[in-house]
Amino acid sequence: MVNFDNLCQTISVCKDCDLYYSRKNAVCGEGTASSGIMIVGEAPGQKEDLEGKPFIGRSGKLLDSILSREGLSRSEVYISNAVRCRPKLGVAPKVAEIKKCSKYLKYEIESIKPRIIVPMGNSALKAVGIVLGFSFPKVTEISGKIYKVKDYYVIPQFHPAAILRNPKKLEIFKDNFVSTISFLMGVTGKEGLSEREVLKA
């Protein structure tokens, strides 16, 4: 387990952007580096803001169920967010807010050195792109594709909240995680993933 006590303390008192005005709790990343997977979400929701923990609301329950289906618990991955304070209801984080918060994600990525980063949703994709110096297309265009950016494999995914709004995407969401875990374990998944299908940034 990587010790992020100092980072979390810094995040908890951060006032770098206007999101801190309305927060109850800033939300730090959580989990372990041992699985090699970092999952990056968009921003805390109401429940996360109240309890100061990432992905514990409806989206978190969906994520937990998909991880469990693939034999992983949330304690076996590292879960973070593009921004650490809750935006207004229904409002995605602004690019300026994501940029202000990117230094925390950068520290986490450089400390954990995950083999795979799974940005869920466009805000997470923007944040990971800022940290790694690469501009990704929208998640609707590249969900499930594998990018090699610097030392990391980046596999974009829909955000669980998008799946809750549109359950027709649930099977795609599940299949993307099956492929992600298979790729991590070096096992050929249902889609026959191989190094030839990795997009070099």
Q: How far is CA 176 from CA 60, 150, 167, in A?
A: 17, 22, 15
Give residue-wise pLDDT tens across range 160-197: 999 999 999 999 999 988 888 888 876 334 444 455 47
Distance CA 90, CA 24 (A): 17
The mean per-residue pLDDT over the stretch 147-170 comes to 94
Give residue-wise pLDDT tens across range 60-119: 999 999 999 888 888 889 999 999 999 987 788 999 999 999 999 999 999 999 999 999
Q: What is the DSSP string of 101-152?
A: HHHHHHHHHHHH--SEEEEBSHHHHHHHHHHHT-----HHHHTT-EEEETTE
Looking at residue 128, its pLDDT comes to 98
Instruction: Tell me which amino acid residue 54 is.
Output: P
Least confident window among 23-27, 69-73, 125-129: 69-73
Tokens 């918060």 belong to which residue?
A: 101
- How would residue 2 be classed by pLDDT, with cut points 50, 70 and 90? low
> What pTM value is reported for the model?
0.90
Provide the 8-state DSSP code for 43. -
- How would residue 140 be classed by pLDDT, with cut points 50, 70 and 90? very high
Domain positions in the chain are 5-200
Give residue-wise pLDDT tens across range 27-49: 999 998 777 899 999 999 999 99
Query: In this structure, is the dihedral angle defined by the CA atoms of residues 103, 95, 197 and 174, taken in order, positive or negative?
Result: positive
pLDDT at 16 over 90: yes
Domain 5-200 has CATH 3.40.470.10: yes
